[in-house]
Amino acid sequence: MNDDTLRGRLVVATPALADGNFAHAVVLLLEHSAEGAVGVIVNRPTETPLATSVPEWASLAAEPTLLFLGGPVQPEAVIALARMYGPTEDVEQILPGVGVVDLSGDPTRIGAAIAGVRVFAGYAGWGAGQLEDEIAGGSWFVVDARPEDVFSDEPETVWRGVLRRQGGVFTTIPPDPTAN
């Protein structure tokens, strides 16, 4: 990876982002290169219990124990993130303490290394240069990610919380740009 990668960072939807799929979205970027970017929306729980989707992993689910909507691309595909106690070869680290876990693996074998799992249906994807153009156009803020952003037990507060954490002008951004 080059030094310009956004892998492991968050892109946070600005209030001006008109795409309904991404209004108030907070996306953890799992991959970012010259070919494009892939991430998951970390603040969109569904009403589907994780036990319904991947029952073998339900005992390791982080609260809330629901399936999350990772994005509009391939909603039938699932991506799982794990909050780890420490490095493990079974989890590809994305940021310190958080990585992608292969759901085809044995949860009982790696369960001791994992503090919690969050499963996402679908993902957010951008082609070559598309995310960079959207960032330059004012659709996304780019900020550092923390494990608690990905594994918040109150995902509906993540968008506002991430912005407030940035300080300054970010604390004054209204959820609705027409409220200015």
CA atoms of 13 and 19, how far apart (whole Å): 10
Average pLDDT score over residue span 87-92 = 83
CA atoms of 38 and 99, how far apart (whole Å): 14
What contacts 123, CB < 8 A, 6 or more positions away? 30, 38, 39, 40, 70, 71, 73, 74, 77, 79
For residues 113 and 4, the model is more confident at: 113
**What's residue 46's pLDDT?**
96
Helix H or strand E encompassing 135: helix 130-136
**What's residue 176's pLDDT?**
62
Residue 172's pLDDT band (cuts 50, 70, 90): confident
Q: Are 153 and 64 in contact (CB under 8 A)?
A: yes
Interval 71-80: pLDDT, tens: 999 999 999 9
How many alpha carbons lie under 13 Å from residue 105 in its C-beta half-sphere? 14
For 39, 48, 101, the CA distances from 36, given in Å and listed in that order, are 10, 30, 21
Interval 118-155: pLDDT, tens: 999 999 999 999 999 999 999 999 999 999 999 999 99
Average pLDDT score over residue span 87-104 = 90
Average pLDDT score over residue span 54-72 = 95
